[in-house]
Structure 1
Amino acid sequence: MHFYEGHFGGMHLIWWIIWIAFIAWIFFIPTDIPYQKTKKENPLDILKKRFAKGEISKEEYEESKKVLKSNN
């Protein structure tokens, strides 16, 4: 049998490819994984997003911004 003579019939190469693919997958996985820790947004960031979406007017934005900055 070839197995005992040091020949693996290509299986050795296949396992190396599998390991390299697995390690590459670990390092290059997408960043939007469920349950992944995400950066918390501060209130000012949320306010900016609401203003950008048009949910609040410029006056409401400026007033809320003043209130948030005075609390810091």
Structure 2
Amino acid sequence: MMFWYDHNVSGWGWFAMSAGMILFWALIITIAVLLFRALNQPHEHTHTPAAPSAEDILRERLARGEIEEDEYRRRLSALHAGPLTKP
């Protein structure tokens, strides 16, 4: 009394079911691996500090004592005046 052969599944039917099950689990494992890799990737949009502006560099030079205050003010006013143009 075996119910094994009552469904009239031929050898090709068993092969198709086995191949289908293997493909199903391969798909599940592939999705899991891709999801794991996607979640563990480093973020590409990391915050990088912006380059210091000319005013920041000038301010740092004054703070370090590389330039005097009158030279700082002269250079700062030159920065705010804009680029020099030749006639």
TM-score for both structures, normalised by structure 2: 0.44
TM-score for both structures, normalised by structure 1: 0.50
